[in-house]
Protein backbone atom coordinates (compact mmCIF):
# COMPACT_ATOMS: atom_id res chain seq x y z
CA UNK A 1 0.00 0.00 0.00
CA UNK A 2 2.79 2.41 0.86
CA UNK A 3 4.27 2.07 -2.63
CA UNK A 4 0.99 3.38 -4.10
CA UNK A 5 0.83 6.31 -1.67
CA UNK A 6 4.52 7.06 -2.26
CA UNK A 7 4.01 7.32 -6.03
CA UNK A 8 2.67 10.83 -6.47
CA UNK A 9 1.90 10.25 -10.13
CA UNK A 10 -0.82 7.76 -9.09
CA UNK A 11 -2.71 10.42 -7.07
CA UNK A 12 -5.48 10.98 -9.67
CA UNK A 13 -5.95 7.21 -9.89
CA UNK A 14 -7.24 7.00 -6.34
CA UNK A 15 -8.34 10.51 -5.31
CA UNK A 16 -11.92 11.16 -6.35
CA UNK A 17 -12.09 14.49 -8.16
CA UNK A 18 -8.41 14.70 -9.09
CA UNK A 19 -8.19 14.54 -12.84
CA UNK A 20 -4.53 14.96 -13.78
CA UNK A 21 -1.04 15.42 -12.39
CA UNK A 22 1.03 18.42 -13.41
CA UNK A 23 4.15 17.89 -11.29
CA UNK A 24 5.42 15.83 -8.34
CA UNK A 25 8.23 16.92 -6.01
CA UNK A 26 11.29 14.73 -6.53
CA UNK A 27 11.35 13.91 -2.81
CA UNK A 28 7.64 12.92 -2.55
CA UNK A 29 6.39 11.89 0.06
CA UNK A 30 8.90 13.73 2.28
CA UNK A 31 7.49 16.34 4.65
CA UNK A 32 7.06 19.60 2.77
CA UNK A 33 6.96 17.99 -0.68
CA UNK A 34 4.10 18.80 -3.05
CA UNK A 35 1.86 17.28 -5.67
CA UNK A 36 0.57 19.71 -8.28
CA UNK A 37 -2.67 18.42 -9.71
CA UNK A 38 -5.91 19.54 -11.27
CA UNK A 39 -9.46 18.80 -10.16
CA UNK A 40 -12.65 18.77 -12.17
CA UNK A 41 -13.38 17.87 -15.75
CA UNK A 42 -12.08 19.56 -18.85
CA UNK A 43 -12.58 22.41 -19.69
CA UNK A 44 -13.50 23.38 -16.11
CA UNK A 45 -10.23 22.38 -14.44
CA UNK A 46 -8.83 24.00 -11.32
CA UNK A 47 -5.09 23.73 -10.66
CA UNK A 48 -4.29 22.87 -7.05
CA UNK A 49 -1.64 21.33 -4.88
CA UNK A 50 -1.28 18.91 -1.98
CA UNK A 51 1.51 19.11 0.62
CA UNK A 52 2.89 16.40 2.89
CA UNK A 53 2.52 17.41 6.54
CA UNK A 54 3.76 14.15 8.05
CA UNK A 55 5.10 10.88 6.68
CA UNK A 56 6.15 7.70 8.41
CA UNK A 57 6.86 5.00 5.86
CA UNK A 58 4.39 2.10 5.98
CA UNK A 59 2.51 3.77 8.87
CA UNK A 60 1.03 7.18 8.11
CA UNK A 61 0.75 9.90 5.50
CA UNK A 62 -0.82 13.23 6.45
CA UNK A 63 -1.61 15.66 3.65
CA UNK A 64 -2.79 19.24 3.35
CA UNK A 65 -5.10 19.13 0.35
CA UNK A 66 -6.16 22.38 -1.26
CA UNK A 67 -9.10 23.06 -3.51
CA UNK A 68 -9.48 26.81 -3.67
CA UNK A 69 -10.69 28.31 -1.43
CA UNK A 70 -10.79 25.39 1.03
CA UNK A 71 -8.05 23.31 2.67
CA UNK A 72 -8.37 19.94 4.37
CA UNK A 73 -6.05 17.69 6.33
CA UNK A 74 -6.24 14.11 5.07
CA UNK A 75 -4.78 11.38 7.25
CA UNK A 76 -4.02 7.91 5.87
CA UNK A 77 -3.05 5.38 8.57
CA UNK A 78 -1.72 1.93 7.71
CA UNK A 79 -1.88 -0.94 10.18
CA UNK A 80 0.21 -3.93 9.06
CA UNK A 81 -1.37 -7.39 9.15
CA UNK A 82 -0.09 -10.84 8.19
CA UNK A 83 -1.75 -10.70 4.78
CA UNK A 84 -1.23 -6.99 4.03
CA UNK A 85 -2.50 -3.96 5.87
CA UNK A 86 -5.59 -2.11 7.01
CA UNK A 87 -5.86 1.46 5.73
CA UNK A 88 -7.92 4.09 7.53
CA UNK A 89 -8.64 7.49 6.00
CA UNK A 90 -9.90 10.58 7.79
CA UNK A 91 -10.37 14.13 6.65
CA UNK A 92 -11.05 17.42 8.37
CA UNK A 93 -11.41 20.97 7.15
CA UNK A 94 -8.35 23.12 7.81
CA UNK A 95 -9.73 26.48 6.72
CA UNK A 96 -12.88 28.57 6.88
CA UNK A 97 -15.69 28.38 6.01
CA UNK A 98 -15.76 24.56 6.19
CA UNK A 99 -13.78 24.55 9.44
CA UNK A 100 -16.89 26.03 11.10
CA UNK A 101 -18.87 22.89 10.21
CA UNK A 102 -18.96 20.34 13.07
CA UNK A 103 -16.57 17.40 12.50
CA UNK A 104 -19.44 14.88 12.63
CA UNK A 105 -21.13 16.64 9.72
CA UNK A 106 -17.82 16.84 7.84
CA UNK A 107 -17.30 13.10 8.35
CA UNK A 108 -20.72 12.30 6.93
CA UNK A 109 -20.18 14.59 3.95
CA UNK A 110 -16.85 13.04 2.91
CA UNK A 111 -17.65 9.41 3.78
CA UNK A 112 -18.84 8.31 0.30
CA UNK A 113 -15.89 10.00 -1.41
CA UNK A 114 -13.34 8.59 1.03
CA UNK A 115 -14.78 5.07 0.74
CA UNK A 116 -14.34 5.30 -3.02
CA UNK A 117 -10.77 6.55 -2.55
CA UNK A 118 -10.04 3.55 -0.32
CA UNK A 119 -11.60 1.19 -2.84
CA UNK A 120 -9.42 2.60 -5.63
CA UNK A 121 -6.32 2.39 -3.43
CA UNK A 122 -7.02 -1.27 -2.72
CA UNK A 123 -7.35 -2.01 -6.45
CA UNK A 124 -4.00 -0.32 -7.14
CA UNK A 125 -2.23 -2.03 -4.23
CA UNK A 126 -3.63 -5.51 -4.87
CA UNK A 127 -2.98 -5.46 -8.65
CA UNK A 128 -6.07 -7.53 -9.35
CA UNK A 129 -6.26 -9.16 -12.76
CA UNK A 130 -9.96 -10.02 -12.67
CA UNK A 131 -12.92 -7.79 -11.69
pLDDT confidence tier of residue 67, bands split at 50, 70 and 90: confident
pLDDT tens by residue, 12-49: 999 999 999 999 999 999 999 999 999 988 899 999 99
pTM exceeds 0.85, yes or no: yes
* Order of all β-strands in the sheet with 18-24: 18-24, 34-41, 44-56, 60-67, 70-81, 84-93
pLDDT tens by residue, 88-128: 999 999 988 888 999 999 999 999 999 999 999 999 999 87
> Contacts from 115-124 at CB under 8 Å and sequence distance 24+?
116/16, 117/14, 117/15, 117/16, 117/89, 118/87, 118/89, 120/13, 120/14, 120/16, 121/1, 121/4, 121/5, 121/14, 121/87, 122/87, 124/4, 124/10, 124/13, 124/14
- Whether the per-residue pLDDT at 131 is higher than 90: the answer is no
- Whether the per-residue pLDDT at 82 is higher than 90: the answer is no
- Whether the per-residue pLDDT at 62 is higher than 80: the answer is yes
Amino acid sequence: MWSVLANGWLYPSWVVGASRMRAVSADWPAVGSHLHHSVGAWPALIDDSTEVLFAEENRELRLLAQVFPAKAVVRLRLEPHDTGCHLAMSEGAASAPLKWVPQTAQDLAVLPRNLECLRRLSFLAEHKTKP
